[in-house]
Amino acid sequence: MISSPLMTVMVDAVRKASRGLRRDYGEVENLQVSRKGPGDFVSAADRKAEETLRDALMKARPGYGMVLEESGIVEGQDKSHTWHVDPLDGTANFLHGIPHFAISVGLERDGQIVAGVIYDPVKDELFVAERGKGAYLNNRRLRVAGRQDMADALIAYGTPYLGRGNHPRLLREVASVMAVAGGTRRMGSAALDLAYVACGRLDAYWERDLQTWDIAAGIILVREAGGFVTSADNASEPLAARSVACGNEALHRELVGILRKVQA
């Protein structure tokens, strides 16, 4: 496990926020839920977790800026550092009682993601990474899977919410990947999809129409685990493109090749 002061701050923050999520998940039928938009919900638990994260991170690093899912952008005096915070990635899973969701916090420094924490409070799985120090699940060092053949690979993807994104393009992409992959999965949490690629549970993953808080922590997890991460079109950084494609070198190359053919 990484024991740097920065990682201590991040881990403490997500563990504090997780207490309320675990409690509210046990009472999911009684949660106060409001509609943010078609197919996109936000719960009282989501907002409480974000407040906890915001307070803890601001107390530890008061000058840093923030990009928060619920509260938007918070300008900081320190223009070099920005937190990207998702208090509940996998909200639909949470609200339907599906035990697959996570808290995700990534730190951007001078345009580069330098640290990330993804915590699954139901399974008590803590994924952490810091630039140059590796990626870990609890106390175990992570490496991406070594499979080289797409026919043996399990590939994850994400679907856009109702009324958002390009559904016909996604259907073409999924059909093209399914034609050559060993299997596909749609799990419902971008943060955990990235974490699962980092630890080898998934071989590759792609998704479009994302936000920075969805993927900031996962990007450095995959890279520190020896994987490759780009935008889905392989032309730019994921944070700027709001899309992601990742895997080991061979499967990442094959996956983005498939996606480019579909787009062409």
The predicted pLDDT at position 81 comes to: 97
3-state secondary structure of 263: helix
List the pLDDT tens digit at each of the 264 positions of the chain. 799 999 999 999 999 999 999 998 988 867 777 766 655 667 788 999 999 999 999 999 999 999 998 888 999 899 999 999 999 999 999 988 899 999 999 999 999 999 999 999 999 999 999 999 999 999 999 999 999 999 999 999 999 888 888 999 999 999 999 999 999 999 999 999 999 999 999 999 999 999 999 999 999 999 999 999 999 998 788 999 999 999 999 999 999 999 999 987
The predicted pLDDT at position 34 comes to: 73
- Taking CA atoms, 195 is separated from 68, 144, 177, in Å, by 20, 10, 21
The answer, as to whether pTM is greater than 0.75, is: yes
The predicted pLDDT at position 260 comes to: 94
Which one, of 96, 243, 58, lies nearest residue 165 by Cα? 243
The predicted pLDDT at position 264 comes to: 73
- Taking CA atoms, 91 is separated from 135, 155, 223, 250, in Å, by 25, 22, 26, 32
The predicted pLDDT at position 121 comes to: 97
Q: Which region, left, alpha or beta, applies to residue 234 given φ > 0 means left and ψ of -120 to 50 means alpha? A: left
Q: Which domains, from first to last, does the chain contain?
A: 5-141 (3.30.540.10), 150-263 (3.40.190.80)
